[in-house]
Structure 1
Amino acid sequence: MKFVADESVDRQIVEHLREAGHTVLYVAEAEPGIHDEAVLGLARREKALLLTADKDFGELVFRQRRLASGIILIRLAGLPPDRKANIVLMVVEKHGHNLPNCFTVISPEMVRFRQLEKKD
């Protein structure tokens, strides 16, 4: 799968996904400091899923109706970075077919999916 990882994503998550064979463009490496709308636009242009720990992306896609290929919100605060990385990789491997065109929330207790508006 192809991902754009926002700066809010732990480097260990990016590394685990890359080691598993996924393509990950990491904003912290490519274009640090760009605004959320630019990150969302980059993910759309790349036809990639957006990985983030920033809840503001929910505002962009649900209230402001910005289009997205899919967003994965990582809500694993307090867990060690390696544990977070293992959880995210497990979700990608188990639920990969559900991730496109969804706003997915990964928390310690559950994984939730909400369908995004379809692109024209």
Structure 2
Amino acid sequence: MIIFDENIEQRLVSKIENEGFEFVSIKGNYQGLSDKEIIHLAKEMQATIITEDKDFGELFFAHGLKNCSVIFLRYSRNEFEEVFNNLLSVLNNVLNKESLQFITIRAKSIRIKKI
């Protein structure tokens, strides 16, 4: 299960939906939740959060809120396809359901930290 944070653009959500992944969109279903509430929701749903919000890194590493995996996307508009392809690869091959991870995806790199 995937939870898309409010800041994820709809075309990315649509492309992931077309790939058959089960997801919830904060923008569409839970608008206005705080980051901490999103983390709590992800823990309840056993979901991975996909976000572009740097605050999730701070919540995980500085405040210890390590209750779910997070995929943090960093890209410019012209890098969309490369980041989407990296995200798809992570969702299909890298994301570990057995352990928590904080994964940063850029157009030319994927960084994985086990939590």
TM-score, normalization by structure 1: 0.84
CA contact (8 A) 1:3 1:50 kept: yes
| Identity level (%) | 23
CA distance in 1, matches of 2:83, 2:111: 16
Unaligned runs of 5+ in 1: none
- CA RMSD of the aligned region, Å? 2.0
Aligned length: 115
Aligned to 1:58: 57
What are the Cα deviations for residues 36-78 of structure 1, in whole angstroms up to 9, with x where unaligned? 1111111111100010000100110111001222000000123
Aligned to 1:3: 2
Unaligned runs of 5+ in 2: none
CA distance in 1, matches of 2:79, 2:37: 29
Structure 1 segments, 4+ long, off by >6 Å, are: none
Aligned to 2:45: 46
**Amino acid corresponding to residue 93 of structure 2 in structure 1:** K
**Amino acid corresponding to residue 27 of structure 2 in structure 1:** A
Aligned to 1:104: 103
Larger relative CO (CA 8 A, sep 6+): 1 or 2? 1
TM-score, normalization by structure 2: 0.87
CA contact (8 A) 2:3 2:23 kept: yes
Q: 1:10 to 1:100 in 2, by over 3 A?
A: farther
CA contact (8 A) 2:100 2:114 kept: yes
Q: 1:29 to 1:101 in 2, by over 3 A?
A: same
CA distance in 1, matches of 2:13, 2:2: 9
